[in-house]
């Protein structure tokens, strides 16, 4: 997670009676200062769920790619100018271009091993692409490009290089979080027949059945936010009771 977000867990954000209200802060790396913020609220009426189940949203809503995520939508609804949209489209093209270059560009051991030594990373014995090299922890694309000093790779701005570096290092993690978020959205749209008999769902534990009978969830997503119910079990519930789900 280095250079992606700084996560501070269990920060006291308020008081409800005698109960502390806690939250997790997802901060951009670098100097701490006042910034715009997005507040993600986890419900549950003090009974069920855990805010950690929404952690994927905190990762996906990080600041480094906010322009790439939001500008096109902002332009559609009149909040982002055509000039700003063109700038983002150009940025996307440059990111794609740099990705292609670092996958094609191969460095020989004689060209890069001194740099790897300085970074305390293992030396290479045969040519390796820039892309593979920056998959290593502690190897930043910006530093590598400055060392390699090739004009075709140095023409890109710092924000382009940073975005390519982050996407290369963390894409599998980001994809996993996206998959979890999309799964939650799907489960939240699957309605449960209020007459469902959880005692007939054999894949659920006795404790899980008792919880579901007590809280009477209206969607499969509501089942998931109870700590006792796993995604596997909610998927089983969805499959077994498909005929009862709208």
- Domain assignment present for residue 55? The answer is yes
Q: Is this prediction's pTM over 0.75?
A: no
User: Which are the contacts of 107, defined by CB distance < 8 A and separation ≥ 6?
Assistant: 124, 127, 128, 129, 130, 133, 148
Mark which of 149, 177, 205 sits at the end of a domain: 177
Report if residue 1 sits inside a domain: no
| Total number of residues shown for the chain | 246
73-102 tens-digit pLDDT: 999 999 999 999 999 999 999 999 999 999
Boundaries of domain holding 200: 189-244
Q: What is the pLDDT of residues 55-77, one digit of tens each?
A: 666 667 777 788 998 999 999 99
Q: Could you tell me the CATH number of the domain that includes residue 201?
A: 1.10.150.570
Q: Which of 16, 38, 63 is the last residue of a domain?
A: 63
Q: Which CATH number do you get for residue 168? A: 1.10.10.1800
Among 163, 237, 228, residue whose Cα is nearest residue 197: 237
Distance CA 32, CA 114 (A): 34
CA distances in angstroms from 47 to 40, 71, 107, listed in the order given? 18, 38, 56
Same domain? For 11 and 51 the reply is yes
- Domain assignment present for 183: no
């Amino acid at each position: 997670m280095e250079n992606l977000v700084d996560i501070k867990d269990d920060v006291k954000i308020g008081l409800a009676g005698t109960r502390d209200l806690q939250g997790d802060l997802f901060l951009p790396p670098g100097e701490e200062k006042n910034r715009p913020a997005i507040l993600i609220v986890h419900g549950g009426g003090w009974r069920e769920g855990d805010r950690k189940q929404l952690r994927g949203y905190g990762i996906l809503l990080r600041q480094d790619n906010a322009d790439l995520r939001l500008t096109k939508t902002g332009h559609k609804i009149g909040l982002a100018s055509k000039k700003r949209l063109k700038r983002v489209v150009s940025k996307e093209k440059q990111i794609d271009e740099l990705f292609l270059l670092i996958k094609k560009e191969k460095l020989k051991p004689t060209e890069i091993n001194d740099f790897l030594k300085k970074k305390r990373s293992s030396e290479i014995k045969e040519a390796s692409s820039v892309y593979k090299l920056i998959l290593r922890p502690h190897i930043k694309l910006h530093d590598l490009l400055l060392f390699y000093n090739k004009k075709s790779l140095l023409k890109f701005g710092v924000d382009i290089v940073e975005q390519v570096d982050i996407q290369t290092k963390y894409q599998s993690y980001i994809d996993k979080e996206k998959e979890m978020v999309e799964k939650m959205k799907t489960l939240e749209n699957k309605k449960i027949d209020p007459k469902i008999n959880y005692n007939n769902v054999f894949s659920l534990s006795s404790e899980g059945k008792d919880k579901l009978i007590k809280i009477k969830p209206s969607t499969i997503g509501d089942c998931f936010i109870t700590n006792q119910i796993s995604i596997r079990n909610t998927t089983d519930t969805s499959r077994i009771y498909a005929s009862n789900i709208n």
